[in-house]
């Protein structure tokens, strides 16, 4: 029986991205040994979308995208211009390594209670 999911972000600067996840995104973590942090995530859901090839993405959900983008901006983080889709408003949040994670305000039913 599946009891959870483990998401992996591959990074060219893992220490900086770990600091970002801790200090900016406010995620709690445990040290799995040798400084390898494993983060607790907010409640999650999984969707399968059509695409030209295989892949995966990480999107954090929020209740108010403009407010969350303003909070990040006050910390010196410049998000991509938000885009409107039928399923929600979405932006990309840059990590220190140059990778990005998504951030969106869903307009669809979710499996996550708010």
> What pLDDT shows up at residue 113?
79
Alpha carbon of residue 73 to chain centroid: 16
Alpha carbon of residue 84 to chain centroid: 18
CA distance 110 to 12: 32
Count Cβ atoms within 10 A of the Cβ of residue 32 and give its class: 0-12 exposed, 13-18 middle, 19 or more buried: exposed
Map tokens 């990040």 to a residue: 72
> What pLDDT shows up at residue 26?
96
Query: Mind listing the pLDDT tens digit of every residue in the chain (114 residues)?
Result: 888 888 999 999 999 999 999 999 999 999 999 989 999 999 999 999 899 999 999 999 999 999 999 999 999 999 999 999 988 999 999 999 999 999 999 999 999 877
CA distance 79 to 49: 23
> What pLDDT shows up at residue 40?
96
């Amino acid at each position: 029986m599946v009891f959870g999911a483990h998401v992996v972000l591959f990074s060219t600067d893992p220490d900086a991205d770990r600091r970002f996840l801790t200090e900016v995104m406010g995620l709690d973590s445990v040290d799995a040994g040798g400084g390898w942090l494993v983060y607790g995530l907010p409640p999650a859901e999984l969707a399968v979308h059509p695409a030209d090839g295989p892949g995966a993405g990480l999107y954090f959900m929020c209740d108010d995208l403009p407010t969350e983008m303003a909070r990040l901006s006050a910390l010196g983080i410049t998000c991509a211009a938000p885009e409107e889709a039928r399923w929600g408003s979405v932006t990309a949040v840059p990590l220190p390594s140059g990778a990005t994670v998504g951030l969106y305000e869903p307009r669809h039913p979710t499996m996550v209670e708010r």
